Amino acid sequence: MLTYWKRRNIPYLEPSIPFGNFENSITNTKSHGLYFKEFYDKFKKMGAKCGGIYAYVVPVFVPIDLEIIKLLLVKDFQHFHTRGFYTNERDQPVSVNLFTVDGERWRLLRTKFTPVFTSAKMKIMYELMVAASKTMEDHLREHARKKVPLDVKDCVGRMTANIIGSCAFGIECNSYNDSKFHKILKAIVLGGTAYIRILFCNALPDLARFLKIPLLPAKETNQLCDILDETLNYRKESNVLRNDFLQLVIEMKDKEIVNLTELKAQCILFFLAGFETSATTMTFVLFELACNQNIQHKLRKEINEVLVQHDNKMTYEAIANMKYLDMVILETLRKHPPVPFLNRVSVNDFQIPDSDMIVEKGTKIMFPVLGLHHDPEYFPEPNSFIPERFSDENKSKIPLL
């Protein structure tokens, strides 16, 4: 048992039954990102360009070498366009989105939605984002006045909920006053059974579909759909036009580019893709600025200087001119990537160049993002927070980019 990699002469890490190369993931709190970093470090130490591990009994291919990674993610993308996420279209049609569909359906959906995710469209939405983040100022002032500690992740999470509510669902919600919307988002992302359900559904997708298990918790997902129905009706009846993501998707629906289910699915995706990722990034930016006061001072100086040039207004153009801020965010994403590994499934047999190794059709592949970001060969002193890695003159030296 568990001899898949040995039989194919691909370097592997010795597994154990039943968790493979993972420990008991129900009682163990180590994140999967950290596991894949450890796999990366071990294969690198062995001098391997790639290797195999087992997630429970499922063989997973882990590429280490940059050329192989670029090949699989970019050049030979046609063999690796599938993420292989669990989805259950029959019982939850709105869980079919850019993340969960594969192949030709993904390409078609991507072609439809690419025009919505341009910087020009972002610029149009920017004013709404600023308005939605205003209540955070009051929240911060209140904490400062009372001199009480602030839960930063919670604080930026609420601001993110305000922005998603405004841009993707067309509602104004003050999440700092415990809005219903924020509670729904939190329940979907952090709900008690979320982790185990997703683990189970991805490990045994056919059984999960047979048991009618939806990807997202049904009650809260239905509540989000109800909010969208209400907003759509209101806009139709009152002839309201708004510069938001929802409006762009409504226009696509009016032109019959998408149907109502696809419209709802992409608004929900806006939240799924943007909520935790953005809040985690902002949390770590603030954490690193607190730990590195010199960087904090340098960034504050840049922000103040740029604002003076922009009439003291935090406009889209002003933010675009904050180069050091960009470097700080990039270094945060390097050190603390909110998505610490990427996944794909090979859709054809694929031979690794200059080797006799074959990645068979249907093999799960995990790209160890956290491992790459902490590899001292690419990022010397990987545990140090050094935004200068991403200055114009330095970033061209990073082989990953």
Asked whether the CA dihedral 75, 76, 78, 82 is positive or negative, the reply is negative
Measured from the CB atom, is 177 or 261 closer to ligand HEM? 261
Asked whether the CA dihedral 115, 118, 124, 130 is positive or negative, the reply is positive
Task: Identify whether the C-beta of residue 40 lies closer than 8 Å to the C-beta of residue 65.
Answer: no
Q: Which stretch binds ligand HEM (CB under 6 A): 151-159, 186-194, 204-212, 269-277?
A: 269-277
Measured from the CB atom, is 48 or 333 closer to ligand HEM? 333
Measured from the CB atom, is 223 or 343 closer to ligand HEM? 343
Nearest-approach distance from CB 222 to ligand HEM, in angstroms: 22
Residue 276 phi/psi, 5-degree rounding, is: -65, -40
Q: Which of residues 116-175 bind ligand HEM (CB under 6 A)?
A: none
* Gyration radius of the chain's alpha carbons: 23
Among 273, 330, 345, 347, binds ligand HEM (CB under 6 A): 273
Q: Which stretch binds ligand HEM (CB under 6 A): 4-12, 17-25, 271-279, 358-366?
A: 271-279
Task: Identify whether the C-beta of residue 273 lies closer than 8 Å to the C-beta of residue 99.
Answer: yes
Residue 53 neighbours by CB distance under 10 Å: 25
Measured from the CB atom, is 10 or 265 closer to ligand HEM? 265
Nearest-approach distance from CB 267 to ligand HEM, in angstroms: 10
Distance CA 11, CA 175 (A): 50
Q: Determine if 194 is a binding residue for ligand HEM (CB under 6 A).
A: no
Q: Give the orientation angle of helix 152-168 with respect to helix 245-254, to 10 degrees.
A: 30
Task: Identify whether the C-beta of residue 80 lies closer than 8 Å to the C-beta of residue 363.
Answer: no
Distance CA 140, CA 154 (A): 12
Q: Which stretch binds ligand HEM (CB under 6 A): 48-56, 146-154, 313-321, 338-346?
A: 338-346
Among 33, 93, 191, 274, binds ligand HEM (CB under 6 A): 274
Q: Determine if 260 is a binding residue for ligand HEM (CB under 6 A).
A: no
Q: Determine if 342 is a binding residue for ligand HEM (CB under 6 A).
A: yes
Q: Which residue is nearest to ligand HEM (CB)?
A: 274
Q: Cβ neighbours of residue 384 under 8 Å, at least 6 residues apart?
A: none
Measured from the CB atom, is 109 or 201 closer to ligand HEM? 109
The residues with which 244 forms a beta bridge, in sequence order, are none
> Both tokens of residue 79?
């063999």
Among 96, 263, 265, 269, binds ligand HEM (CB under 6 A): 269
Q: Which of residues 86-105 bind ligand HEM (CB under 6 A)?
A: 98-99
Q: For 228, how many CA atoms within 13 A lie in the half-sphere containing its CB?
A: 26
Three-state secondary-structure class, residue 50:
strand
Measured from the CB atom, is 270 or 324 closer to ligand HEM? 270
Nearest-approach distance from CB 98 to ligand HEM, in angstroms: 4
Nearest to 86 by CA among 210, 226, 2: 210
Lay out the site mask for ligand HEM across 277-316 (x = CB under 6 A, - = otherwise). xx--x-----------------------------------
Nearest-approach distance from CB 167 to ligand HEM, in angstroms: 8
Specify the amino acid at residue 101: V
For the chain, what's the residue count?
Answer: 401
Binding site for ligand HEM (CB under 6 A): 98-99, 110, 269-270, 273-274, 277-278, 281, 338-339, 342
